[in-house]
Amino acid sequence: MKNLKFILLFIPFIASSQAREISNISPLGKLTAALDMGTDSKYYIRYLDTKMKMMEYTRFLKIGNKKKLKNFKKNLLEVIQYKIKDKKIFLNKNTIILNSSGKKRIFITIIDENNITSGIKWLSINQINVLIPAVEF
């Protein structure tokens, strides 16, 4: 019985120490990407890797603090607006390549420090604004 009391007192601490989901994009109920805040108060994007064709594989991209998140969103929207191809961003030991389709969408290729390539499928301006809401700044 004493162990049960300890466990019941400890559960709220465990639940509050998890990452907090801020927003997500799930067209047709299938996760594309989500913005999370980790226990270290840093922002992460959790995304379904579109480079893996055989199975669904979720990866994480560490963005960092609010300033880096704001700059990341600005870069995404800028690439779509000006139809830029192959814009490279270096963020937390990752190389991120942004490609505009010219049709108001962007494909994000991520190369991590181990040279593993992954990607986030075509995102629209509306999806970017949902993924990274202005209230986070």
CA distance linking residue 33 with residue 18, whole number of Å: 18
Q: Do 24 and 11 touch, CB atoms closer than 8 A?
A: no
| Local confidence band at 8 (pLDDT 50, 70, 90 cut-offs) | very low
**pTM of the full structure:** 0.81
Task: Give the pLDDT mean for 92-115.
Answer: 93
List the CATH number of the domain containing 121. Answer: 3.30.2450
- Which structure tokens are listed for 55? 């199975």
Supply the range of the domain harboring residue 76.
19-136
Q: Is 9 a domain residue? A: no
Q: What is the pLDDT of residues 57-91, one digit of tens each?
A: 889 999 999 999 999 999 999 999 999 999 999 99
Enumerate residues 6+ apart whose C-beta is below 8 A from 79.
Answer: 87, 98, 99, 100, 106
Report how many domains make up the chain. Answer: 1
Amino acid at 86: D
